[in-house]
Structure 1
Amino acid sequence: MGVRDEREKDVDDLFVTSRVSIPLAEIDYIAARSGGPGGQHVNTTSSKVTLLFDLDASPSLTEADKARIREALTGRIGKDGVLRVVSQTSRSQFANKEIALERFAALLREALTPRPPRRKTRATLASKLRRLDDKKRQGERKRQRRDLGD
């Protein structure tokens, strides 16, 4: 593999993290007419872009990665196992493709980043005493209100 082949491979891959890259051939796009205001332009051009990525069929991700992505992005993955990212912010289809691709990479990066384990903490003695003092003060207020009604 020569230097030219290496560069061509870089262009054809989307680098998500240092260890995960997805070939652009695994990503599909659907263009549709964008909603909202825009006059004649919005009625004649298909500038809205939906990026489709078949998570289940992807050979570039491990099963552990797929499970982590499925857990983190449940709302964006359909029953068919396809991850969808929609972009319609720009009037240009090309710009919306780029935006959708950036969002897709950011979503995967976020989903694949391991979460630090939660450290159990205890309430301090001072915080417990403050809480009890507040409860006593509130109870005293209520007792005073009740006594005024007699």
Structure 2
Amino acid sequence: MESLDERMERLRIREEDLEERFVLGSGSGGQKINKTSSCVYLKHLPSGHEISCQESRSREKNREVARTRLCDHLEAVAAEAKLAAARERARRRYQKRKPSRAAKARMRVAKQHRSERKSSRRKVVGDR
């Protein structure tokens, strides 16, 4: 299991790129939560992703959890981008493929059928 620092290094997240603020907590927990600034707000400036964490009453624990969540989020975004690129490559490959012999035969039959239908719409000549 890689450490948080190694993970941040792999994802190219630098501490200078993070905007970190500590805000008053809210929600259940009463006075212990609401009067301390243990809720961590983290913003990754290059990507613009924002994370807030109030898991624990400990500010340090919340800082670690917020960074972990940021790493999770950026990994998910990267994985989705990779999947979308693969999907696009597959779509292009599918579009470029040549039709099979059977598909060509079906197209010929459909074209012949359409031609016959259109020829029946022509004016009849010489039949009076």
| Bin of the TM-score, shorter chain as denominator length | 0.5 to 0.7
Secondary structure at the aligned position of 1:30 is classed as strand
Q: Does structure 1 residue 21 correspond to structure 2 residue 12?
A: yes
2:26 maps to a residue whose letter is G
Which of 49, 62, 68 aligns to 1:102? It is 68
Task: Answer with 1 or 2: which has the greater Rg.
Answer: 2
The answer for the alignment partner of 1:137 in structure 2 is: none
Once the two structures are superposed, the pairs formed by residues 1-150 of structure 1 within 5 Å of their partners are 14-16=8-10, 20-55=11-46, 82-113=48-79, 114-115=82-83, 116-117=86-87
Of structures 1 and 2, the one scoring higher in RCO (CA 8 A, sep 6+) is: 1
* d(CA) in 1 for partners of 2:36, 2:8: 27
Secondary structure at the aligned position of 2:13 is classed as strand
Superposed CA offset, 1:9-42 (max 9, x none): xx598234xxx42211211211111111222212
Secondary structure at the aligned position of 2:29 is classed as coil
Aligned-residue CA RMSD in angstroms? 2.6
Q: CA deviation at 1:110?
A: 1.3
Give ranges in structure 2 of 5+ residues lacking alignment: 92-128
Kept in 1, the 8 Å contact 2:40–2:63? The answer is yes
1:99 maps to a residue whose letter is V
Are residues 34 and 49 of structure 1, via their aligned partners in 2, closer, same or farther at CA, if it must alter by over 3 Å? Answer: same
* Count of aligned positions: 83
Kept in 2, the 8 Å contact 1:13–1:24? The answer is no
* d(CA) in 2 for partners of 1:34, 1:95: 14
Kindly indicate which of the two structures has a greater share of residues assigned to helix: 2
Secondary structure at the aligned position of 1:110 is classed as helix
Superposed CA offset, 1:37-56 (max 9, x none): 22221232111111011126
Are residues 43 and 111 of structure 1, via their aligned partners in 2, closer, same or farther at CA, if it must alter by over 3 Å? Answer: closer
* d(CA) in 1 for partners of 2:60, 2:27: 19
1:41 maps to a residue whose letter is K
Secondary structure at the aligned position of 2:25 is classed as coil
Provide TM-score, normalisation by structure 1: 0.47
Q: CA deviation at 1:106?
A: 0.9
Kept in 2, the 8 Å contact 1:15–1:21? The answer is yes
